[in-house]
Structure 1
């Protein structure tokens, strides 16, 4: 199963001027299809930073969604950075031009049409809101920063290109609440369970108020998680803590 990742690009997010709406929505869209997000990176409007990040993900087999920076204003760098990262030139995409002309007529020129300049070899991602397309190249999908446009575009990509990955593995998450738990005293148990069940994730989330406790659980293939939880519960009891099911 390939990993899914996202880039969220824009100084307005990092400065707090705008609140990010992409991360939670990307997680939800993937989860609805039996998929999960492996990583997410926030990037400022710094060309060298964007290009460097893209080069790293290009070197993997990850499926990557990028939000923001594909407009035509001087602070939109994503199209040029993508071209640099892939080692190709920027060229005007005739189908993207046709979409912009169909939407804006003469108003497509002289500036809106600049948003049809994509890395060489890119394919279009249709924009259902204003027909200004995003683009894709080698499992990297570039969309606008506007959530109302970007999120249906991401759904289109998932449903068109990756439906064969949907709901392949029944993934579940289960946990218990370790009462008066001390996280450091659960580390060895967590390592033991991870070594026994390497295909799942084991996690702990401590809480100090109003009462000290640790949420301890496992996430992954439902068949393995159920077995791992039996071991976690037994191990917690053996360490000397009491626990209750996490509702």
Structure 2
């Protein structure tokens, strides 16, 4: 079985509405393309105490977590420090990370046509992005060479830290998936069947939903009410989802239960995770 996957998005700019989050749909897509799914996502502001608390919980488990944002070297970037605190390890200069940062600074000087000065104040500050929790492993950054990093918790959790910029973060997350998670790709095909219902109520449907879940382990029943759908109007989309091999029996049981209650069935919808494709 594959582990649960989580996403942590760090930044006051998301909570204040200055920027809209783009990471959640991107990570859902990147995982889905590989037959994996996101179990949870959380946004936290640039407050060290909260970041540390969230990371401590992540490191205490056995999940794979992607953390986007806050790994720079400005005063509002706290993620590197919080990761070290959550792990109970010191921050140390990572030679390879700082060498890559130096290469980037040399490239920038060459592009600008100026001599490279390693001791210039802004260059010294940039090297702070290569001061990482002890034991961190690098995640290559194809955009500008300034690496992200991964840390492993005592219980096996893997937390992967990438920048907040999508143009950097998403290729780095893909690299992590391809290089550390491939053994879980397409191992647990998922499927989903649902039907549109008009005139039904969730309270009346609840006993049937509970019975289906109790009789079909590994399958979840869902109810999605809508009051102003552009096509179906007010309706409930009722369905089952879970392991592809288990869904058909649960789906037939759900249909039979609806028919026994004389509930009129509308359009049926079938969705399959990419991992379930032939």
Q: TM-score of the superposition, structure 1-length normalised?
A: 0.97
CA offset digits 1:216-247 (Å, max 9, x no partner): 11111111111111111111122231112334
Partner of 1:115: 129
Cα distance in 2 for residues equivalent to 1:246 and 1:28: 24
CA offset digits 1:58-84 (Å, max 9, x no partner): 111100000000000000000000000
Which of residues 183, 196, 210 in structure 1 aligns to 2:202? 183
**TM alignment of 1:57-206, pairs within 5 A:** 57-105=58-106, 106=116, 109-138=123-152, 139-206=158-225
1:213 matched to 2:214? The reply is no
Cα offset, 1:107, TM superposition? 6.1
Deviates more, 1:4-13 or 1:176-185: 176-185
The count of aligned residue pairs is: 247
Partner of 1:234: 256
Cα 1:107/1:16, change in 2 over 3 Å? farther
SS of residue paired to 1:110:
helix
Cα 1:80/1:107, change in 2 over 3 Å? farther
Larger-Rg structure: 2
Partner of 2:4: 3
Tell me which of the two structures has the higher relative contact order, counting C-alpha pairs closer than 8 angstroms and 6 or more residues apart. Answer: 2
Cα distance in 1 for residues equivalent to 2:149 and 2:84: 11
Deviates more, 1:185-194 or 1:100-109: 100-109
Cα distance in 2 for residues equivalent to 1:198 and 1:107: 63
Q: CA RMSD in A?
A: 1.2
Cα distance in 2 for residues equivalent to 1:207 and 1:163: 38
Does the aligned pair in 2 maintain the 1:127–1:134 contact within 8 Å? yes
1:18 matched to 2:37? The reply is no
Where structure 1 has 5 or more consecutive residues not aligned to the other structure, the ranges are none
SS of residue paired to 1:212:
strand
Cα distance in 1 for residues equivalent to 2:28 and 2:192: 15
Where structure 2 has 5 or more consecutive residues not aligned to the other structure, the ranges are 107-115, 153-157, 270-278
Does the aligned pair in 2 maintain the 1:6–1:66 contact within 8 Å? yes
SS of residue paired to 1:246:
strand
Does the aligned pair in 2 maintain the 1:182–1:213 contact within 8 Å? no
Partner of 2:155: none
Cα distance in 2 for residues equivalent to 1:96 and 1:215: 50
